[in-house]
Amino acid sequence: SQQGEEDPQALSIQEGENATMNCSYKTSINNLQWYRQNSGRGLVHLILIRSNEREKHSGRLRVTLDTSKKSSSLLITASRAADTASYFCATGEPGSARQLTFGSGTQLTVLP
Amino acid sequence: DAGITQSPRYKITETGRQVTLMCHQTWSHSYMFWYRQDLGHGLRLIYYSAAADITDKGEVPDGYVVSRSKTENFPLTLESATRSQTSVYFCASSDSGTKNEQFFGPGTRLTVL
């Protein structure tokens, strides 16, 4: 069963706008990660936030984590056409030996 | 080539045939994983391995077999392929340090007729 559920399933924005994707999960976690998948390619790790962290930044990416609400958000600022991809959240759970449980993803389209 | 590779990239087979998907990584990562990706389901874990000769089932292991005799290789075998195993298969690896990220291969698109 899936742990993370992304919202929205699809998002279309103009270049230069910000994109926000949300992820909700069901059980306790050690960490939450975000991955990007370009069409026809493998997933690429973007950022990891641990359960004791609330916010993390990496370049144009900002991730927040609210463990009380079991939710996370990924913000991409000043989006570019090259950001067009599917974005997945993945949760690592206590005692799970590095297993990750992936959500079903958000398809982001950035229009030039 | 450095990194994680999968072969073949595309495979068409028939119901009942045995198929083996190969995965090779050059980082000496301890952990390796096999996922399948189907529309609407995201990625689902089939099997994983914490080290050579140590494997364990994931969420959807039925119909699949894995082995890991060497750290760098983690083949996935479909013993008797079924149409429901038509999917895109991804291999991933992760080291045993504090960074928990997984590195993914390019995927194998398998069609079972």
> pLDDT, tens digit, for every residue of B51-82?
999 999 999 999 999 999 999 999 999 999 99
Q: Return the closest-CA partner of residue A96 out of A65, A56, A51, A39.
A: A51
For A98, the closest of B43, B94, B106 (CB atoms) is B94
Residue A31 pLDDT:
93
State whether residue A16 is helix, strand or coil. Answer: coil
Give how far Cα A59 sits from Cα of A47, A70, B9, B25, B93, Å: 10, 25, 32, 28, 25
A71: distance to nearest CA of chain B, Å?
A: 18
> pLDDT, tens digit, for every residue of B91-106?
999 987 777 899 999 9
> pLDDT, tens digit, for every residue of A42-71?
999 999 999 999 999 999 999 999 999 999
Q: Which residues of chain A have pLDDT under 70?
A: 1-4
* Subunit contact B43:A99, Cβ cutoff 8 A: no
For B48, the closest of A33, A42, A99 (CB atoms) is A99
| Whether pLDDT at B1 is above 70 | no
CA dist., res. A4 & res. B86, Å (int) = 24
CA atoms within 13 A on the CB side of A43: 33
For B100, the closest of A35, A44, A92 (CB atoms) is A92
Contacts of B33 in chain A (CB under 8 A): 99
Q: Which residue in the block uniquely carries the two structure tokens 């992304």?
A: A6
What's CA A40's distance to the chain center, in Å? 19
Residue A1 pLDDT:
47
